[in-house]
Amino acid sequence: MPPPSGTTAHPPAEVLISEVGPRDGLQSVKTTMPTADKCTWLDALVAAGLREIEVASFVPAKRLPQMADAAHVVRHARRHPGLTVVALVPNLRGAQDALRAGAHKLTLPVSASAAHALANTRKTPAGMVEEVRAIARLRDELSPGTRLEVGISTAFGCSLQGPVPPDDVIRLAAECIAAGADESGLSDTVGYAHPAQVRSLFRRLRAEIGEHAGAAHMHNTRGLGLANCFAAWDAGVRTFDASLGGLGGCPHAPGASGNVVTEDLVFMFQAMGIRTGIHLEKLFAARQALAAGLPGEPLYGMTPQAGLPKGFGQRP
């Protein structure tokens, strides 16, 4: 029997856009955004419908002064009901501080490239797996409900090391899950990936770790960010990292500029009929809060500049 008029047999497809600008973006610019402006920007992102935001990185203030207010920002973000507050932690000490502040989810970068791992965390990939194990134990003791996510950095290549063997990437992801991580995603840290590579590696990841396969974190360094996100979606990925205005990169990966622009990614999925839960006009408004906190910092994005097509349905 066909569904009643006005309904569909299946609900529309849906994706989760995880906004990483307040962490990945802000730690990559020289200017330190004032804490009050960070909170205003976060409020605007939530108002636009973002359900998961990576708000801070728990690293020593001497190393990243942009993140010195991480605990305050986490506590502010927790005021928003229904928002998953994510914090990046590079080590056990960072995890302790993030758990104490009340982050709902910890994300740990584990690089498949030995050269990048040493530059970014001062540990080898094997050493980072042990760090995952220690953090998982700490999480289980202090806050069992907090999720632990691992992002496999330089999964598609490294500007320090060069090619990264896919077998190394998949093995490392599986080891992180075995060490206690809840999910493991793949990151194109330096913008080397192309769609065929993304589709192939995410299919292998999902075949290896199943429901533990996590987000796609793509960069637009060479203009393939959206194409790579589509390839990941085609391979079954349903969570995507992105940064408002394309803010951010990686300070330990030369040339790794340009996170995927949140506004463009949301537009692509909504144009395809895939729900994001995000209101594009309100997302454009959040750019104003970002620009006010970082005056003079260039912001990117084709959709905000061109506007929405005439007749475009504004259903999040």
Per-residue pLDDT of 31-45, as tens digits, reads 999 999 999 999 999
| Pick from 23, 135, 20: nearest CA to 70 | 23
Query: How far apart (Å, rounded) are the C-alpha atoms in residues 72 and 87?
Result: 12
Yes or no: say if 110 and 88 are a contact pair by the CB < 8 Å rule.
no
pLDDT digits (tens, 9 = 90+) for 217-267: 999 988 999 999 999 999 999 999 999 999 976 554 454 468 999 999 999
**315 falls within a domain:** no
- Angle made by CA atoms 27, 30, 33, in degrees to the nearest 5: 70
**316 falls within a domain:** no
In whole angstroms, how large is the CA radius of gyration of the chain? 19
**311 falls within a domain:** no
**250 falls within a domain:** yes
Residue 163: which domain range? 16-306
Domain count, the chain: 1
pLDDT digits (tens, 9 = 90+) for 117-174: 777 777 899 999 999 999 999 999 999 999 999 999 999 999 888 999 999 999 999 9
**42 falls within a domain:** yes
> How crowded is the C-beta side of 276, counted as CA atoms within 13 Å?
29
CA torsion sign, 249 to 286 to 70 to 295?
Answer: positive
- Known catalytic residue at 229: no
| Pick from 112, 183, 116: nearest CA to 150 | 183
**3 falls within a domain:** no
Domain at 203, CATH number: 3.20.20.70
Yes or no: say if 252 and 116 are a contact pair by the CB < 8 Å rule.
yes
**130 falls within a domain:** yes
**271 falls within a domain:** yes
What is the value of pTM for the model shown? Answer: 0.93
Query: How far apart (Å, rounded) are the C-alpha atoms in residues 67 and 136?
Result: 23
Catalytic pick among 158, 176, 229, 250: 250
Residue with tokens 């042990």: 130
